[in-house]
Amino acid sequence: MTGTGDTAGPGGEEVCDVAARRPVERTEMRARGGIVALRSDRVLMTDGDSAERDVIEHPGAVAVVALDDTGEDWRVLLIRQYRHPAGRLLWEIPAGLRDVDDEEPQATAVRELAEEAALRAADWRSLVDFFPSPGVSEERIRIYLARGLTEIPPEERDFTPRHEEADMPVRWLELDAAVSRVLAGEIHNANAVAGVLAVAAARARGLDTLRPADAAEE
């Protein structure tokens, strides 16, 4: 454990998420799309009863907080993207699916930062890991912190934006202003909310306390 303070739960257990899987009595595939699939599991619960649980199968994703900490006021990079299910234009951080076979998560993050922001980073850290909708989805996200940023020259860019990414403005926003917009309910994207607040917390603790980029996913 690397945290501080009281880490014991009410029963004396450590307050740390652990892998666990209840027995599944039966599974039925409901639908399959281009990215996700929907299945229904009949799960045996700890009280001896069983319950139907819908599960969205998802490959997982990565996201990147690109941080310019070279000046007195730290800045984070945000992109605006149309999200059809939400019916909104959302300010987000660069992100992408882990849908390339055998590609390491950090490599996916490096690629997404290059494609969506035309940036490279000299320093990579693991910032935060989370399940955005664990009640219905397997999706797991790792957010990286990228520093030491340099722009990729136009002649070296090999990504052609399409669909939502064809109209995706990029803005630099001071970190404190980004935190204020999150707390004011003006930034809604889960990756951006988690990433911005995590960087603000890491600044207070010291960025060197962050896990390495290749830290294991617990």
What whole-number distance in Å separates Cα of residue 30 and Cα of residue 38? 5
Question: Among candidates 147, 150, 149, which has minimal Cα distance to 199?
Answer: 147
Three-state DSSP at 105 gives helix
What H or E segment, with its residue span, contains residue 51? strand 50-57
H-only helix segments in 34-189: 105-117, 175-183
What H or E segment, with its residue span, contains residue 67? strand 61-68
What whole-number distance in Å separates Cα of residue 58 and Cα of residue 137? 7
Contact 94, 62 (CB under 8 A): no
* Residues with catalytic roles: 165
